[in-house]
Structures are given as structure tokens and as C-alpha cells.
Amino acid sequence: MLVLRLLNVVAPAYFLCISLVTFVLQIFVFIPSMFRDPSTTPLFSPALLHGALFLFLSANALGNYVLVIQNSPEDLGKDLNLGKGAEVADWLDGSRSPGSALPSTHFCRLCARVTQRHDHHCFFTGNCIGSRNMRNFIMFCLYTSLACLDSLVAGMAYISATLSMSFADPLAFLTLLPHSISQFFSGALLSSEMFVILMLYLWLGIGLACAGFCCHQMLLVLRGQTRYQVRKGMVVRARPWRENLQEVFGKKWLLGLLIPVQNVESSYHRQKEK
């Protein structure tokens, strides 16, 4: 438990550091050095267009990241007066009184609260993913993967021009790291160039991981399931996939694709207000 709590603090700081490094490399290294075309007008210059694209992707990724943290799933234990700590966990697991557990709820020991439609605990946001922030989490994964892909392409173009190498051969990227390590220790490669090469593989890993999370989460949303329900083998009521999408993305789904907006309220909160 101590290791998980430490990871819950280190992972968000690690993500923010990677985001800051990516922003600095794109704005101050890649764009000024790679997009120099004096024949084009400043309004439609490649540097301005690429910078606008990167800022759009980064703003959506960071905006949804903040909304995932702000829109924490409500603590049902406070509203239902179930108690705290292990007593709440026992009540939800049904060990104290069989059949009394709330449907689609889970007690997270890291967050110390009971969440509705609990999906999983995200260490990179330090928060549980539930009914209130599911859409923002999916959008965060989508735009993070796109921002990493954009940085990967720009970084490969920068390395290709700096080291006068071609990535036309698919094996060139796979053999780039071992060759760069040998050249770095032999003194033929600068530390700044080696750092950019390491960032290329980091962007590739983060981009693929976020894309996988996004696709897997969308599949669960279409089925009307959560990752916690799948892991526990819970049976969910079959509904049309359109209703499942609307429950997560709401009626303003198109607006949520373009700008970071707050997620829809949970069904438990709407029922409580009625």
C-alpha cells in the first residue's frame, strides 16, 4: 500500500515533467530549426501551422487532465452514512450483510471513498475514474497519444536533419537507439542529440499506451461496462450502444471533442436531485 501511495504522487509529477520537456522541445527546438521557409507568408507558414496544431493538442490533453482531477467521483459513503475505512469496504463487498452491496460501486483504498461506476484508479492523475470523469479521461488519452505522435514525427525530422540520416528504412528507427548509445560514449554524438533520441522512444511508448487505453475504454463504453465490472465478472444490463455512449459523452459530445469541457453528471447524482 505504501508503494501504491508513493506511485500515486510520483506518477503525476512524472507526467507533468514529460509534458513540460515536450513543450520546450517543440516550441524552442523543433519548430524554429525545422520550419524555415522564407517564401511562404507568415500567416500560413509551416512553423505557425505546426505550432498551432501542437498547441491545440496540448491544450486539450492538459485541459482534460485537469478536469479528470477536478471531477472526482462523488463519495457515496458520505451520502449514505456507511462509515469510513474498512467498514465501508466490508459493506460494499457484501461480507457484513450478504446482498447489501450497492450495484456498480467500489471502495478505493487510495482515495478512501466509495465511487459509483468505478472503472479504475489512474495513477497518472492520482484520481479514480468513474461516472463523472470518464469522458475527460478518454479525451485525455486520445489527445495525449496525438500530441506524442506529433512530437515523434517532429523529433524524427529534427534528428534526420541534424544527423543527416534517413528513416525511409523501417529498421532505421529500431536500430537508432543502440547506434546512438555507441556514438554517444565514443564522443561522436552530443548529449542534447542523445536526449532527443531518448525522448523519441518515450513519446512512442506513451503514445501507444494512451492509444491502447483509449481504444480499450471506448470498447467498454460501447458495451456499457467498466473495467472493474469486467475484472470482477459482474453481469450488466444489455442496452443499445447509443445509450451507453450518450451516458458517458452526453449531448455535447462534439463540443467535448474540440475543447475540454466538464463531463456530464453521474446518474446517481441526477436521481438524488429528483
Contacts of residue 214, defined as CB under 8 A and 6 or more positions apart, other chains included, come to 138, 141, 142, 145
| Dihedral over alpha carbons 179, 182, 183, 185 (to 10 degrees) | 160
Long-range contacts of 239-246 (CB under 8 A, 24+ apart): 245/221
For 238, what's the count of Cα atoms within 13 Å in the CB-facing half-sphere? Answer: 0
Of residues 108, 111, 122, 148, which has the active-site annotation? 122
122 labelled catalytic = yes
Contact status, residue 25 vs residue 206, Cβ threshold 8 Å: no
The x, y and z cell numbers of residue 247, run together, are 451516458
d(CA 24, CA 212) in angstroms, rounded, equals 26
Contact status, residue 126 vs residue 9, Cβ threshold 8 Å: yes
Question: 274: exposed, middle or buried (C-beta count within 10 Å: 0-12, 13-18, 19+)?
Answer: exposed
Known catalytic residues?
A: 122
